[in-house]
Amino acid sequence: MSDDCLFCKIIAGEIPSDKVYSDDDVYAFHDINPAAPSHILIIPKKHLADVKSADDSDQALLGKLLLKANEIARDQGLEEAGYRYVINTGRDGGQTVYHLHLHIMGGRGMGWPPG
């Protein structure tokens, strides 16, 4: 828990969120400003500022984040048409919240490369 972190406050229930999934390790909720018809964020409950802050001790946690994202994408009905995962990192990566989060986006064609 980082005291001044928005997503730690969401995990703690101090800031409301539209929960999709929760267990001991990860928490998933709808993005407040969706960029696609289905836009969910999945985060580790452990505070990691960004993906590059992870180390070897986080190997299982990062694996779980992806595997749970797969389950969520399936539960959202995105599997057949496809979906996109995004982890923005740092300023040029467009990161605005410094608690690691994986965007799960689908429900429309998104093209490549992104704008």
* Active centre residues (catalytic): 101
Which of ligand AMP, Zn ion, none binds 57 (CB below 5-8 Å, type-dependent)?
A: none
Contact string 64-93 vs ligand AMP (x = CB under 6 A) = ------------------------x-----
Token pair in block for residue 96: 């605005």
Number of residues counted as binding Zn ion (CB under 5 A): 6
Q: How far apart are the first and last CA of the chain?
A: 34
5 near ligand AMP, rule: CB under 6 A:
no
Using CB under 5 A, which residues numbered 92 to 111 contact Zn ion? 99
Q: What are phi and psi of 21, to 5 degrees?
A: -160, 145
Smallest distance, Å, CB 2 to Zn ion?
A: 4
Using CB under 6 A, which residues numbered 16 to 55 contact ligand AMP? 17, 29, 31-33, 41
Q: What are phi and psi of 61, to 5 degrees?
A: -65, -45
Rounded Cα–Cα distance for residues 38 and 107 (Å): 6
Q: Are 43 and 99 in contact (CB under 8 A)?
A: yes
Rounded Cα–Cα distance for residues 24 and 30 (Å): 19
Binding site for Zn ion (CB under 5 A): 2, 5, 7-8, 47, 99
Binding site for ligand AMP (CB under 6 A): 6, 15, 17, 29, 31-33, 41, 88, 94-97
